[in-house]
C-alpha cells in the first residue's frame, strides 16, 4: 500500500484534491481546459441535496493553481450553506477561471466556459462573481440555459451586487442592534474595505444613514470616484485593522480575518460582503467571540445576490427579492442570539442551522 512506503508529508502531495483542507466532501470537481482560448477553469460542486449547485464564476489572477483550487473549494462549500440558511432550493457550487479578467477575458473564452457549464446538464448553474459582469453572463446564455445574473434587457434579474449590498446592510444593522442596542448606524464609524460592485452600493446605504464611512481599495481611481459621489473619506493609513472603528466591512477578498489581523482589530462588529472572511472559520470564529467582536457570518448576510439570481429560476419579482433580502436582518439577529444561548460562535450557529436543513431534506428523500 502506498501509505506504507510514503511519509505522511509526501503523501499529502499525492492527495491534491481529496486531501485538500478545503475539500469537504464535494460531490464533483470539474477541471476545464481549452488550449485555443486559453481557458483554465475549475468548477466545484459541493452539494446538490437541496437543488442544483448555483454559484458565480470568479476570474482572478491566482498565484498558483493550488490557490485557485483552494478558492473554488472554499467558495462552493460556502454557497451550499448560504442557500440552505436563506431557504432556497439550491445546492452549492462555484467556478473559478484562472487569469486576469482585465486582459485575458475574451468572448471566445467565456463561450467555451459556457459550453463546459452546459456539459454538466444543469447540475451546476453559474452567475457572476469577481471579475465578471452581467454582459458576460448574457454571452454565456447564448450557449447554455444554465446561467443566471442575466441583464434585465435580456429578461434576467440584472446585476445582483446592489441587492447583495442591501442584504449586507441589513445584516450589519442587525449586528449593530445586537452589539450597540440600536440598528441606527448614524455616526457609527464604518470602514469599507473594497469598493467594487458591492462595496460601493454599501457605501451609498451607509452614507444615506449618516454613518462616518472610510473607504479603502487598491484601485486609486475607484477611491476618488466613490469619495466624490458619496462624500466619504478615503483611508490614508497603512493598516486598516488597527484603526479605531465601530464596524469593519470586508468587501474585497476573503481571509482578511486571520492570525495577523485579529490581535490588532479594534472593530466591535465585523459585517461585510466578502466570502470566507475567516481564514480559519473554527479558530478565528472562536477568537472573535472571546474578544467580544460580533461577527455577522458572511454566507448569511451576503445572500442578497443569490436571492436576486434565484428569482430568474423561480420567476419571482423585485418585491419578493427585497422582502427575502430584508429578512436577512431577522435571521442575523436570530443567529447571533442563538450563538450566545448555545455558547458557540456565530459562524457555528449559522452553519448548524444550514446543515440541519440539508440533513432534513436528505431524510425526506
Ligand atoms: P468587485 O471585483 O467588484 O470588487 C472588489 C473590490 O475590491 C475591487 O474594487 C478591488 O480593487 C478591491 N480590492 C481587491 N483587493 C483589495 C485589497 N487587498 N484591499 C482593498 N481592496 C481590494 O467584487 P464585488 O462583486 O464587489 O464582490 C466583493 C466581495 O463580495 C467578493 O468577495 C465577492 O465574492 C463577495 N460577494 C459578491 C456578491 C455580488 O453580488 N457581487 C455576492 C456575494 C458575495
pLDDT tier, 20 (very low <50, low <70, confident <90, very high otherwise)? confident
* Superfamily classification of domain 161-356: NAD(P)-binding Rossmann-like Domain (3.40.50.720)
Cell of 69: 483550487
Q: What angle do CA 202, 336, 22 make, to 5 degrees?
A: 75
Separation CA 295–CA 270 (nearest Å): 5
Distance (angstroms) between ligand 1 centre and the Cα of 161 equals: 10
- Residue 195 CA, ligand 1 centroid: distance in Å: 7
Q: Residue 293 half-sphere exposure, CB side, CA atoms within 13 Å?
A: 27
Distance from the CA of 196 to the center of ligand 1, in angstroms?
Answer: 5
Q: Which atom of ligand 1 is nearest to the CA of 250?
A: 29
pTM summary value: 0.93
CA of 139 to the centre of ligand 1 (A): 22
Confidence (pLDDT) at 21:
75
pLDDT digits (tens, 9 = 90+) for 94-134: 999 999 999 999 999 999 999 999 999 999 999 999 999 99
pLDDT of residue 319 exceeding 90, the answer is: yes
Q: Which atom of ligand 1 is nearest to the CA of 254?
A: 32
- Catalytic annotation present for 286: no
* Ligand 1 atom with least separation from CA of 303: 43
197 CA distance to ligand 1 middle (Å): 7
The CATH 3.40.50.10860 portion of the chain extends over 2-81+89-154
Pocket test for ligand 1, best of 61, 96, 127, 129 (most atoms within 8 A of CB): 129
Tell me the C-alpha distance between 217 and 236, whole Å: 10
Nearest CA to ligand 1 atom 1: 196
**Residue nearest atom 20 in ligand 1 by C-alpha distance:** 217
Average pLDDT, the chain: 94
- 270-312 residue pLDDT tens: 999 999 999 999 999 999 999 999 999 999 999 999 999 999 9
Range(s) of the chain covered by CATH 3.40.50.720: 161-356
**Longest CA span, the chain:** 65
State whether CATH 3.40.50.10860 applies to domain 2-81+89-154: yes
Give yes or no for a contact between 161 and 197, defined as CB atoms under 8 angstroms apart. yes
Model confidence band, residue 12 (pLDDT cutoffs 50, 70, 90): low
**Distance (Å, whole) CA 333 – CA 174:** 6
Catalytic residue among 94, 173, 179, 324: 94
Helix H or strand E encompassing 166: helix 161-180
17 falls in which pLDDT band (50, 70, 90)?
confident
**Residue identifier of the C-alpha nearest atom 15 of ligand 1:** 252
In whole angstroms, give the CA distance from residue 29 to residue 74.
12
Instruction: Work out which ligand 1 atom sits closest to the CA atom of 200.
Output: 26
| Contact present, 113 and 41 (Cβ < 8 Å) | yes
Amino acid at each position: 500500500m502506498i501509505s506504507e512506503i510514503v511519509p505522511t508529508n509526501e503523501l499529502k502531495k499525492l492527495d491534491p484534491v481529496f486531501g485538500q483542507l478545503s475539500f469537504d466532501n464535494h460531490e464533483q470537481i470539474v477541471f476545464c481546459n481549452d488550449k485555443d482560448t486559453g481557458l483554465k477553469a475549475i468548477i466545484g460542486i459541493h452539494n446538490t441535496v437541496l437543488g442544483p449547485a448555483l454559484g458565480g464564476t470568479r476570474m482572478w489572477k491566482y498565484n498558483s493553481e493550488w490557490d485557485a483550487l483552494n478558492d473554488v473549494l472554499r467558495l462552493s462549500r460556502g454557497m451550499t450553506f448560504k442557500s440552505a440558511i436563506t431557504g432556497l432550493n439550491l445546492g452549492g457550487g462555484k467556478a473559478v477561471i484562472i487569469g486576469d479578467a482585465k486582459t485575458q477575458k475574451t468572448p471566445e473564452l467565456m463561450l467555451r466556459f459556457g459550453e463546459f457549464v452546459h456539459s454538466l446538464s444543469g447540475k451546476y448553474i453559474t452567475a457572476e462573481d469577481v471579475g465578471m459582469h452581467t454582459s458576460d453572463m448574457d454571452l454565456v446564455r447564448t450557449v447554455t440555459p444554465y446561467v443566471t445574473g442575466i441583464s434585465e434587457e435580456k429578461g434576467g434579474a440584472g446585476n445582483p451586487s446592489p441587492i447583495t449590498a442591501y442584504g449586507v446592510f441589513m445584516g450589519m444593522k442587525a449586528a449593530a442592534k445586537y452589539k450597540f442596542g440600536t440598528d441606527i448606524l448614524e455616526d457609527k464609524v464604518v470602514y469599507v474595505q473594497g469598493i467594487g460592485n458591492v462595496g460601493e452600493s454599501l457605501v451609498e446605504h451607509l452614507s444615506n444613514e449618516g454613518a462616518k464611512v472610510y473607504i479603502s481599495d487598491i484601485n486609486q481611481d475607484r477611491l476618488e470616484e466613490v469619495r466624490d459621489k458619496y462624500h466619504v473619506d478615503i483611508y490614508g493609513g497603512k493598516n486598516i485593522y488597527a484603526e479605531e472603528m465601530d464596524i469593519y466591512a470586508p468587501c474585497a477578498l476573503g481571509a482578511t480575518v486571520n492570525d495577523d489581523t485579529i490581535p490588532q482589530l479594534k472593530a466591535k462588529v465585523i459585517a461585510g460582503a466578502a466570502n470566507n472572511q475567516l481564514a480559519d472559520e473554527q479558530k478565528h470564529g472562536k477568537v472573535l467571540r472571546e474578544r467580544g467582536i460580533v461577527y455577522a457570518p458572511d454566507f448569511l448576510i451576503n445572500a442578497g445576490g443569490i436571492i436576486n439570481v434565484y428569482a430568474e429560476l423561480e420567476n419571482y419579482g423585485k418585491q419578493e427579492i427585497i422582502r427575502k433580502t430584508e429578512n436577512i436582518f431577522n435571521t442575523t439577529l436570530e443567529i447571533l442570539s442563538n450563538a450566545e444561548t448555545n455558547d458557540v460562535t456565530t459562524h457555528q450557529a449559522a452553519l448548524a442551522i444550514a446543515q440541519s436543513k440539508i440533513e432534513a431534506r436528505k431524510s425526506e428523500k
